């Protein structure tokens, strides 16, 4: 365990240190360099030493369980996902679960570990654009764009929904609108191609 | 959806629509979740209470510059309105007057909403600016909401871990000094 600590807080504007004494940080009212009015709230983690990661222990006796990834290191815990034995270096604790690097990577890619998820693509917004944009720019493309929107609604129905918006409801509304636009667009073209000959 | 998740509470006073998209702040059990929606992407940033070292709020001059720009923009319609009034074009003058009223409302609301600022969260590895918390009042609300949660979690975690007391200096209590705006 390392006892190194990083007790310097720099001004986000000018990059200079806000105070030479960490104890005086809560009393800072202005940046000493750029003189911007500043309020600093410091938490206990600020003065805590930086803890270095654990190091794996070497195998001492023959027949001892070893890490799946490091044959010379002693196994400490099994992976909660795949069951492989892991040393202290390979043991990655996420939300109270012990995972191996491979399971963590797979979980992050598939979105199984929500705390590792960094973003999602909003397909419902794409479909909305497909439905609205042709209406104001190129109406004659309506059958094509609405068909594309309909296909996307079905195709992306099971994709991970937004965390803050009701994606399913948006997709339903978009699907209904796409159907109306498709019928309307087809009727328009039908009239333009065949209907006009009668009159 | 986070709305239906009992583990998350939306901080309705924070966030909103910004220059590049919409931002919302959600309070989880052990972290603050910032959701940024830009065009077709939703981006998540998680700030775990155990990792947060400091909150830095810094006042800037954006309010003043906003008012100056709006004032400069208002000069042209004001001159136009005066010219129209002198010609007896009351209909045109009232139309331009409407634009002036809108600019006036912007300046008034910008002034009444209080000083502008930027908020940064500091962890052991980064200092991250929070989007759409641009007013001092909002920043204070964030601090008031986060401080007790972070304090209780870090103090209890510190007691549980109990690192070598000889190497750790006395952690300062989360405290803040209210700057004087007068």
Number of domains in chain B: 2
Q: Which of A1, A33, A44 has the highest number of chain B CBs within 10 A, making it the mutation to test binding with B? A: A44
Query: pLDDT of B6-54, one tens digit each?
Result: 889 999 888 788 777 889 999 988 899 999 998 889 999 999 998 899 9
- For chain A positions 55-74, those within 8 Å of chain B (CB to CB) are none
Task: Check CB contact of A23 with chain B, cutoff 8 Å.
Answer: yes
Residues of chain B in contact with residue A127, where contact means CB-CB under 8 angstroms, are none
Q: What element of type H or E holds B58?
A: strand B54-59
Q: Which residue has the higher pLDDT, A8 or B67?
A: B67
The verdict on B33 and B55 lying in the same domain is yes
Residues with Cβ < 8 Å from A25, sequence gap 6 or more? Answer: A9, A18, A19, A40, A42, A46, B54, B172
pLDDT of residue A198: 57
The answer to whether A109 and A159 are in contact (CB under 8 A) is: no
Average pLDDT estimate for A130-144: 83
Kind plus residue range of the DSSP H or E element containing A149: helix A142-155
Quick one: B68 and B97 in the same domain? yes
User: Which chain B residue has its CA at the smallest distance from A118's CA?
Assistant: B44
Chain B residues whose CB is inside 8 A of the A120 CB are: 41-42
Q: Are residues B77 and B101 in the same domain?
A: yes
Which residue, chain included where needed, has tokens 């007691």? B159
Query: Is the CB of residue B57 less than 8 Å from the CB of residue B105?
Result: no
Q: What is the pLDDT of residues A141-188, one digit of tens each?
A: 888 899 999 999 999 998 888 888 888 999 999 999 999 999 998 888
Q: Does residue B108 sit in the same domain as residue B68?
A: yes
Confidence of residue B173 (pLDDT cuts 50, 70, 90): very low
Q: Which residues of chain A does B24 touch, with a Cβ-Cβ cutoff of 8 Å? A: 164
**Taking the CB of residue A126, how many other CB atoms lie within 10 A of it?**
17
CB contact under 8 A, B124 and A49: no
Residue with the bigger pLDDT between B32 and A60: it is B32
Answer whether A32's CB lies under 8 Å from A16's CB: yes
- State residue B61's pLDDT score: 92
Q: Is residue B156 part of a domain?
A: no
Mutate: best of A21, A23, A43, partner B, most B CBs <10 A: A43
Interchain CB distance below 8 Å, B176 and A118: no
B94 in the same domain as B105 = yes
CA closest to B48 among chain A residues:
A115
pLDDT value of residue A74: 87
Q: Give the separation between CA A143 and CA A185, rounded to whole angstroms.
A: 5
- Does A120 touch chain B if contact means CB atoms closer than 8 Å? yes
Same domain, B144 and B133: yes
Closest residue in B to A119 (Cα–Cα): B43
pLDDT > 90? residue A20: no
Summarize the confidence of residues A187-199 as an average pLDDT: 77
Residues B56 and B121 in one domain: yes
B86, B130: one domain: no
pLDDT, residue A164, reads 86
Report the C-alpha gap between B157 and B85 in whole angstroms.
71
Domain-embedded: residue B176: no
Q: In Å, how far is A161's CA from the nearest CA of chain B?
A: 8
Question: Please, are residues A25 and A18 in contact by the beta-carbon 8 Å criterion?
Answer: yes
Q: How far is A43 from B110, CA to CA, in rounded Å?
A: 32
> Phi and psi (nearest 5°) for B58?
-130, 125
Q: Do B172 and A118 touch (CB under 8 A)?
A: no
Nearest residue, CB atoms, B177 vs list A12, A26, A49: A26
More confident residue, B104 or A106: B104
User: Which pLDDT band, with edges at 50, 70 and 90, does B177 fall under?
Assistant: very low
Closest alpha carbon to A23 in B6, B170, B157: B170
3-state secondary structure of A100: coil
* Distance, CA of B80 to chain centre: 37
For residues B63-88, give the mean pLDDT: 91
Residue B168 maps to a domain: no
The residue segments making up the domain with residue B10 are 2-60+116-149
Q: Is A43 on the interface with B (CB under 8 A)?
A: yes
pLDDT at A159: 86
The answer on pLDDT for B72 being more than 90 is yes
Q: Does A114 touch chain B (CB under 8 A)?
A: no
Q: Do A44 and B122 touch (CB under 8 A)?
A: no
């Amino acid at each position: 365990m390392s006892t190194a600590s990083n007790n310097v807080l720099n001004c986000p504007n000018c990059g200079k240190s806000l105070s030479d004494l960490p104890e005086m940080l809560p009393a800072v009212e202005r940046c000493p360099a750029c003189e911007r009015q500043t309020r600093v709230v410091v938490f206990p983690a600020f003065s805590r030493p930086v803890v270095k990661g654990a190091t794996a222990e070497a195998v001492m006796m023959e027949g001892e369980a070893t890490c799946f990834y490091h044959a010379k290191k002693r196994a400490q815990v099994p992976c909660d996902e795949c069951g492989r034995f892991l040393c202290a270096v390979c043991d990655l604790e996420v939300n109270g679960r012990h995972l191996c690097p491979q399971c963590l990577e797979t979980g992050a890619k598939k979105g199984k570990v929500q705390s590792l998820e960094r973003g999602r693509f909003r397909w419902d917004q794409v479909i909305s654009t497909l439905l609205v944009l042709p209406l104001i720019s190129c109406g004659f493309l309506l059958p094509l764009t609405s068909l594309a929107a309909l296909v996307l609604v079905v195709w992306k129905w099971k994709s991970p929904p937004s965390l803050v918006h009701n994606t399913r409801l948006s997709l339903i509304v978009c699907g209904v609108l796409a159907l109306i636009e498709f019928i309307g667009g087809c009727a328009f073209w039908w009239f333009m191609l065949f209907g006009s000959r009668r009159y | 959806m986070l709305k239906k998740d009992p583990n998350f509470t939306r901080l309705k006073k924070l966030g909103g629509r910004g220059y590049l998209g919409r931002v919302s702040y959600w309070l989880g059990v052990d972290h603050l979740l910032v959701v940024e929606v830009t065009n077709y992407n939703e981006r998540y940033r998680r700030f775990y209470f155990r990792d947060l070292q400091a909150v830095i709020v810094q006042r800037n001059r954006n309010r003043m510059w906003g008012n100056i720009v709006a004032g400069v923009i208002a000069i042209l319609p004001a001159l136009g309105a005066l010219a129209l009034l002198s010609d007896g074009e009351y209909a045109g003058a009232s139309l331009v007057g409407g634009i002036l009223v809108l600019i006036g409302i912007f300046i008034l609301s910008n002034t009444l909403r209080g000083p502008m600022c930027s908020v940064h969260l500091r962890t052991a590895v980064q200092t991250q600016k929070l989007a759409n918390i641009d007013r001092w009042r909002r920043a204070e609300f964030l601090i008031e909401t986060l401080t007790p949660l972070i304090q209780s979690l870090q103090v209890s975690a510190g007691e549980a871990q109990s690192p070598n007391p000889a190497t750790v200096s006395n952690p300062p209590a989360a405290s803040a000094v209210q700057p004087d705006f007068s």
